Structure 1
Amino acid sequence: MNNIYLISDIPGYPPQISRLLSMMNYARHTTLEATKDLSVNQLDFLLDPESNSIGALLMHFAAVEYAYQVETFEKRELNEQEMSIWGAAVELGERGRAEIRGNELDYYVGKLNEIRNRTYELFKTVDDDWLYQEEEFWYKKQANHYFMWFHVFEDEINHRGQIRMIKKRLKV
């Protein structure tokens, strides 16, 4: 995170994986900046009865990254036990509103860091060729691991826009 504005080599990782991680790191940096110093009430705030809270969106980022770890490295979907842990964050909506509440920002940042650290370790086990391996993905389409991991931080960037909108409308 020291050179957050550089997309470059990261020691211990091959070139393309380094660049992917650099982009993921920048996306995370901007997410953390957008949520810095938020209170529990602010993290739990809902714009309306159908919206997601900032806290739920932060957990969603961790859940999506974990799900992609499982899918791309273990070649499986989340099991029942993992869904009991991550299901509300994957699904969001009503379940997310009910189950993801009352946590300090440090809790969410800890989860994000825990999952990202696992991502770093997993990426040490593959080379750049792995990024280009194709498999069936959404709706029976072909995708490669590069796209799948692009989607992990693309989803975060998309939802970070929601976080910024929610912050502008906080009433707590």
Structure 2
Amino acid sequence: MINMDNIYLIKDIPGYTPQVGRLLSMMNYARYTTLAAVKDLTVDQLDFLMDAQSNSIGALLAHFAAVEYAYQIETFEKRDLNEEEMAIWGPALDLGDSGREKIKGNDLAFYLHQLEEVRNRTYELFKSVNDDWLHMEEEFWHGKQANHYFMWFHVFEDEINHRGQIRLIRKRMGV
């Protein structure tokens, strides 16, 4: 879905309404830069911890997939993750001790596959909505109103934020 000829263009994407396509354009660029930041990393590099409180690059990649999945559930199914989903995605959503304990030993292909599977589901779900859906409001954090546009902006804004951590970790590892 990421069209490398148009990676620097925020524009319509065939099959999506205009604003949905532009949102996907921004999400695709964020993902493109994330993939460039993790290219060719080994399992040891993906598992590297700068200190006892930090997150690994692998955990951050799993976090990107978990956040996107959680927003699929919240905005399309109007529910929280169930117990089974939390068993799968909880450590990546929460990171911290649980993430450090459970998210390790995977190669880059594992994380890339996870990211791709979740993103492909996002592509399919976004085909089912239009620009009006982006502007639908509901209660969000701390009892404040938010629209779907903001919620999905937050998905890639969170990725961009944590990608900065990935770049810092790479520098600390000397790669």
Q: Does 1:17 align with 2:35?
A: no
- C-alpha root-mean-square deviation of aligned residues, in Å? 0.9
Corresponding residue SS for 1:169:
helix
Query: What is the aligned partner in structure 2 of residue 82 from structure 1?
Result: 85
Q: Does 1:116 align with 2:113?
A: no
Structure 1 CA distance for aligned equivalents of residues 7 and 100 of structure 2 = 33
Corresponding residue SS for 1:143:
strand
Structure 1 CA distance for aligned equivalents of residues 82 and 174 of structure 2 = 38
Q: Does 1:126 align with 2:129?
A: yes
TM-score, reference length from structure 1: 0.99
Query: What is the aligned partner in structure 2 of residue 47 from structure 1?
Result: 50
In the TM superposition, structure 1's runs of 4+ consecutive aligned residues that sit over 2 Å from their partners are none
TM-score, reference length from structure 2: 0.97
Q: Does 1:105 align with 2:120?
A: no
Q: Does 1:169 align with 2:149?
A: no
> What do residues 12-67 of structure 1 show as CA deviations (whole Å, max 9, x unaligned)?
00000000000000000000000000000000000000000000000000000000
Q: Does 1:58 align with 2:65?
A: no
> What do residues 87-120 of structure 1 show as CA deviations (whole Å, max 9, x unaligned)?
0000000000000000000000000000000000
Q: How far did residue 171 of structure 1 move? A: 6.4
Q: 2:158 aligns with which of 151, 155, 160?
A: 155
Mind listing any 5+ residue stretches in structure 2 that lack a counterpart? none
Structure 1 CA distance for aligned equivalents of residues 54 and 125 of structure 2 = 33
